[in-house]
Structure 1
Amino acid sequence: MSDLIPLTGEPLALDLVNTRPAAGDLLETPDGLRNWWTLQADRLRDEVPQEITAADLAAVRAVREHIARALGHVRRGDRPLAADLEALNEAQRAAPAINELVWNGSAVTAARRREGSPGRRLAAWLAEAAAEVLADPVATRIRECEADDCVMLFLATHPRRRWCSAARCGNRVRVARHYHRHKAG
C-alpha cells in the first residue's frame, strides 16, 4: 500500500496528522485537501466544497502542525506548548459553532453548524477533534508505527499492536523478515 494513499480510521485528529507520511505531504495542494476531505466526509459535518483556496489549505495545515506537536508531548505524558493549545483554541473561535434550529415539517431539529470560509470551518472541526483526543487519557496510548520507514500515528487499542496498519506496514515488515530468514539460510 502506498504512502500516497491516506491512512484513515484512527481518531480524526490522528488521520489529519497522518497526512504527512515519511515521503511527501498529502495536503500539498487544495486538490489534496479536497481528496482527503472527501475520504473523511462521513466524519465531518461540512460538505466538501467545490473550490478550496490556498487560504483554506493553509488554515488546515496550520491546525495539523499544532495538533502534531501537541500530540507529541501529550502522548509521552509531557505538557504541550501553550502556543499550540492556544492556536487550536483560536482555530475553533475563528469559525464559531452553533446548534442551528430547523423545522423539518414535523419537529424542530438541531444541527451543529459553523460560520466562516470552508477552510476555517474545517480547521475548527479538526481543532475540536484534537481537543477531544488531547483531553482524553487515551492520548498516552497513541503510538508511532514501528516500521522503519513509517511515521504514522495510531491509537493502540490492543497492547501488542505495533504498526499503523497490518496491510500497510505489518505485511512489509513480515515479508522483509521472511526474506532475510530465507536469504540467510
Structure 2
Amino acid sequence: MPDTRPDTRLALDLALTIRHDGQGGVADDLDTTAGLARWVREHPDALGGIPGDDWQADEAGLAAVRSLRAAVRALFAYAVRPGEPSPADARRLLPVAEALERLNAAAAAVPTVTVLAWPEGGEPSAADRPATAAGTGPEALVATLARAAIGFLAGPDRSALRACHAPRCVRYFLKEHPRQEWCKPACGNRARVARHHERHRVPQT
C-alpha cells in the first residue's frame, strides 16, 4: 500500500477484513469475537491506544463493528463508480443513504477532544481522543473506525480507490499509478492467465 494517511489505512484495513479465502470463496476475519480482538490488537497505533494487550471483544462489539463495515463497504462501492464494486458483497450492499446514516451515527457515539502530543526531540502532533471514560470500550472502537472512514471518504485518497476484479479477488485498493489495474502483482498474473485461456478456449460443438 502506498504511504497514505492513517485514516485511509485504517478504513481500508477494515474493508479488507473481507477477503478471498484462497480456495475460491470469501473469508471474514471478523467472523468471531476472537477474530475481532486479534484484528484490533494488530492496529494499536491507528486506533489511538484503544486496544490494550488484554483487550477482548464481546458479541455486541463484534456486531457493531460488522455493521459499520457493511456501511463502509457500501460507500466504497459508491466511491468507485462507474467502476464495479467488489464482488464479495455487490449483490447485498446497503443503500447509500442508510450507509451514510449508519456511519455518521457510529462516529457520533463517543465525543472526542483534540489532544496535543509533543515528544521531547520530536514534532508536535494533534489527534482526537475519546472525551469520556468510555474511551476504551466497543463504542469508542466503532466511533474511531467510523471517523477514519469519514476522513478517508472525504479526503483526497478516495479518488484513487478501486475494486480489484482479478479472478478470485475481492479487495479494494488504492491505484498508485495510471496503468495499475490490480491490487497486487499476483492478481495481475491471474488476470493475464485467465485472459490467455479465454482467448485460446476451444469453442464447444
User: What is the alpha-carbon distance in structure 2 between the residues aligned to residue 77 and residue 97 of structure 1?
Assistant: 36
Residue pair 2:79, 2:161 contacting (<8 A) in 1 also: no
Deviation by residue 1:65-112 (Cα, 9 ceiling, x = unmatched): 11111121122179x72221121111111111123589x9xxxx9763
Shift of 1:146: 2.8
TM-score by length of 1: 0.74
Q: Paired residue for 2:147, among 128, 145, 156?
A: 128
Alignment: residue pair count: 168
Letter in 1 for 2:12: L
How do 1:140-179 and structure 2 match up within 5 A?
140-166=159-185, 169-170=187-188, 172-173=190-191, 176=193
Q: Which residue of 1 aligns with 2:15?
A: 17
- Listed as ranges, the gaps of 5+ residues in structure 2 are 1-7, 21-25, 84-94, 120-124
TM-score by length of 2: 0.68
Q: Secondary structure at the match of 1:13?
A: helix
Residue pair 1:60, 1:120 contacting (<8 A) in 2 also: no
Letter in 1 for 2:18: R
- Listed as ranges, the gaps of 5+ residues in structure 1 are 1-9
Moved over 3 A (4+): 99-102, 109-112, 170-174
Q: Paired residue for 1:70, among 67, 70, 75?
A: 75
Distance 1:112 1:165, change over 3 A: same
- Measured on the aligned residues, the alpha-carbon RMSD in Å equals 3.3
Q: Which residue of 1 aligns with 2:29?
A: 26
User: What is the alpha-carbon distance in structure 1 between the residues aligned to residue 59 and residue 82 of structure 2?
Assistant: 35
Residue pair 2:72, 2:103 contacting (<8 A) in 1 also: yes
More helix by share: 1
User: What is the alpha-carbon distance in structure 1 between the residues aligned to residue 191 and residue 154 of structure 2?
Assistant: 33
Identical pairs, percent: 38
Q: Secondary structure at the match of 2:41?
A: helix
